Amino acid sequence: MDLFRCYRIGLLICGVLLCFADATKTKYGEAVRKLLEENGYKGGASGVLVGNRLAFVEGFIEDHALGVTGHFKHARKALPASGISKILTALTVLNLIEEGKLSGNNMVFAADGVLADLVEKRDNVKDKRMFDITVDDLLRHAGGWDADISKIADPVFNDYLADGNHHLINIAKELKLKTQLTPNDIIKFMLTQPLDFEPGTKSITSNFGYMVLGRVIEKVTKEHYESAVKDDVLVNCGMWHTTLGSHEKVDIGKERKAGEILAELRDKYQVIGEYYAHVTPHIVDASLGWFTNAFDVMRLAQCIDGSAEYRLLNDTTMELALRPPRKARDSETTWQGAGFMVHKDGAIWVGEETHAPDVVFVHKNLKRYQQKSAYTGTENDPVAWTILFEGKPTINAPLKQLTKVMVEAEAHWPTVNSFVDDLHDKLLTLGTSTKLIKLKVEEHRANQYLIALKRAQFNVIWINAYTNDDSTFITVIAEQDPKASRECVALAGLPLNKLVERKMELQEEGYNITFIQNYKSFSHKDKFVFIGVFHKGAFRNDSHILYGIQHFDRPYQTLLQLYEEKGYKPLVQSLEYNRDDALLTFILEADDGDEKNQQEIYSSEIDLDESKLDRYVRKYARQQRRLIYLDASNHRGKPKFSALFKKTQMSKWLFSLGLTPEEILMTVEAKQSEGYLPSIIVGYSQNQKDEPKFAIYLEKPGDSKKFF
């Protein structure tokens, strides 16, 4: 048996080469590059869905020497979603309608309306048509507001537009506010103003109408708008890059005045909507506040048309989404649907908006889910595409039609499926086995990421959470396996009550919990939470399973010894500390045929520091016992480990610890050529502010048994 210990000096000679197809070599890619460069955009990103694969994805960035160039990593960058934000809001509302928690016919401001409590004095509502506005009207921009003719302009941007413009009513001054405007302030003021047209009769893009919808969502769900959209749309669609507001840091500085800072920000974000999305996302949350990338927009396309074996809305709700406004003329061939424009043939799209960075999202046939097509991967007909632009120069052409011509001019789309390209730090193929590893996913994005893996037909075979620099992350190893991925549910950040609730729900559907990790989560204010992984039919019918949550170490060791003598084998042994108390969360399994004392086969070790872990790995290697489980915790600033070993006749495996992220990638790259793939990767910190370290276990696919 061959063990190795990777030292940094030896690893530095290795290189990591990530190769991606140059998408700009396609005719379409070159057309996008020229569109951006010739019209003065600072950059952008595009994705094209062909069949059910992401056949094209590329980012573009302005280079002062080379002009606009293709840059794959830029495709991962989150850019302003602009009008696509309204689709996320509309889908959340439609999901509430589908669940029976809301109706499109619900009045909004009437006495029994969803937001009746915002009408402080009904006599102050001068335009009584306000009480006729329905949820459906808001979805279709038919609430009665027209920013082009209103004396307030766009109420959402009023404090910006009215600053220095005496022709516009200034809401903050009218309300005599000394604090920043809130959505409720704006809504209450607008209730006292006249409508610009009768609700339901026509559609005119209204950021204010979607601001109101955001408050409808909050009222019905009793959650913040962002949380509701995340739970209902982002997680279910695997949109793990999409966030409300930007993550760019604004350097305020101690000596700088607020006016100076705001002036600088306004100069930087010359498009009003982008300025708001960066600086005050709570104002534009439901209308223009989201940031996303080309990968996630194409995941959204699959999520609403059902081409990735999951559809967000059922047939009835989808028909509702495509319906025209309630008082629209029957002769129209295009109309405003719920968050997007609709053509009578089933196409939908989102285009440019006055106060937002440019964006294009087109789906040629949202009803294609009804065709129940079997995709072969060789399709050449694009069904959806997006371009996210950086900036908003003057361009004398409708972007939707222009991009349609560009897409249709491409005769040969790549046959690759790039939906996996943003999911890994390293993609490894050995024989028939393809694995990916991802070392660092922020915990608050973890569940979206895990769904994205599932949609890309990758099954989670290892997952581990760790905390570093006041943030919690997850590390994942996944293997391409269409059947197993369909029958796997992986969830992170679960409080104990949610873990138990999901376990009971999934058990009814035939799933077994195959993995639990207990960890302290920074995003949950350093509270204990859990990772849970469930697989359908994971255990034999004659299996007996024991689960335990946070048992003290000594009682656990006594219990383990007792049950091993009865034929139970340990599968999971997660370690966490509550001050000085070591707590073990575990899974034990026994089959009717396993009456042998499992102590002869399995070995359990807990409360190991790095040097002890290294010694025990070497010790058990000499006894022909391989590592089958590893977890790390932190006790008084020092890493502590829990490990399980199993006696086996396998030939070779490799183990190392104390590696940096770069060294991990170098290691798996180098060892792949020798026939090894990673099975376990655990992150931990020696100092919370230092770079995280990793322990890794690799084995040859023929020798290994999947952990889950």
Q: What is the band of 4 on the pLDDT scale with cuts at 50, 70, 90?
A: very low
Burial 126-163 (b: 16+ CB within 10 A, else e): eeeebbbbbbbbbbbbbbbbebeebebbbbbbbbbbbe
Q: What is the band of 279 on the pLDDT scale with cuts at 50, 70, 90?
A: confident
Q: Tell me, what amino acid is at 499?
A: L
- pTM listed for this prediction: 0.91
pLDDT at position 408 = 95
pLDDT at position 254 = 47
Which burial class, exposed, middle or buried, applies to 65 when counting CB atoms under 10 A from its CB (0-12, 13-18, 19+)? Answer: exposed
CB-facing half-sphere around the CA of 465: CA atoms within 13 A: 31
| Residues 489-515 pLDDT 10s | 999 999 999 999 999 999 999 999 999
**Helix-, strand-, coil-residue percentages of the chain, each rounded to 5:** 35, 30, 40
Residue 260 has pLDDT above 90, yes or no: no
Q: What is the band of 372 on the pLDDT scale with cuts at 50, 70, 90?
A: low
What does the pLDDT average to over 372-384?
Answer: 80
Q: Tell me, what amino acid is at 423?
A: L
Q: What is the band of 268 on the pLDDT scale with cuts at 50, 70, 90?
A: low
- What residue has token string 């009804």? 370
Residue 578 has pLDDT above 70, yes or no: yes
Which burial class, exposed, middle or buried, applies to 222 when counting CB atoms under 10 A from its CB (0-12, 13-18, 19+)? Answer: exposed
* Residues 280, 182 contacting (CB under 8 angstroms): no
pLDDT at position 71 = 64
pLDDT at position 588 = 96
| Residues 412-471 pLDDT 10s | 999 999 999 999 999 999 888 899 999 999 999 999 999 999 999 999 999 999 999 889
| Residues 334-353 pLDDT 10s | 999 999 999 998 899 999 89
> CA-to-CA distance for 167 and 286, rounded, in angstroms?
27
pLDDT at position 256 = 52
Q: What is the band of 5 on the pLDDT scale with cuts at 50, 70, 90?
A: very low
Report the share of the chain in percent with pLDDT over 90.
70
Q: Are strands 79-80 and 67-70 parallel, antiparallel or unpaired?
A: unpaired
pLDDT at position 203 = 95
pLDDT at position 10 = 31
Sheet holding 341-343, edge to edge: 67-70, 53-63, 43-50, 382-390, 359-363, 348-350, 341-343, 334-336
Residue predicted with more confidence, 5 or 633: 633
Burial 289-305 (b: 16+ CB within 10 A, else e): bbbbbbbbbbbbbbbbb
Residue predicted with more confidence, 114 or 165: 114
Least-confidence region, from 420-424, 593-597, 624-628: 593-597
Residue 50 has pLDDT above 70, yes or no: yes
* Residues 214, 89 contacting (CB under 8 angstroms): yes
| Residues 143-185 pLDDT 10s | 999 999 999 999 999 888 888 777 899 999 999 998 889 999 9
Q: What is the band of 707 on the pLDDT scale with cuts at 50, 70, 90?
A: very low
- The backbone torsions φ and ψ at residue 477, rounded to the nearest 5 degrees and listed phi first, read -115, 130
| Residues 513-552 pLDDT 10s | 999 999 999 988 889 999 999 999 888 887 899 999 999 9
Q: Are strands 543-552 and 433-442 parallel, antiparallel or unpaired?
A: unpaired
Classify 335 as helix, strand or coil.
strand
| Residues 207-243 pLDDT 10s | 999 999 999 999 999 999 999 999 999 999 999 999 9
Residue 232 DSSP code: I
pLDDT at position 12 = 27
Instruction: Provide the angle, in degrees to the nearest 10, between the axes of the packed helices 446-455 and 294-305.
Output: 60
What does the pLDDT average to over 364-375?
Answer: 72
| Residues 469-492 pLDDT 10s | 889 999 999 999 999 999 999 999
Determine the straight-line distance between the first and last CA of the chain, rounded to whole angstroms: 24
- What residue has token string 């063990």? 3
What does the pLDDT average to over 60-71?
Answer: 69
pLDDT at position 9 = 26
Residue 25 has pLDDT above 90, yes or no: no
pLDDT at position 330 = 74
Residue 35 DSSP code: H
Q: What is the band of 61 on the pLDDT scale with cuts at 50, 70, 90?
A: confident
pLDDT at position 706 = 47
Residue 64 has pLDDT above 80, yes or no: no
Residue 65 structure tokens: 């020497």
| Residues 640-683 pLDDT 10s | 999 999 998 766 889 999 999 999 999 999 999 999 999 999 99
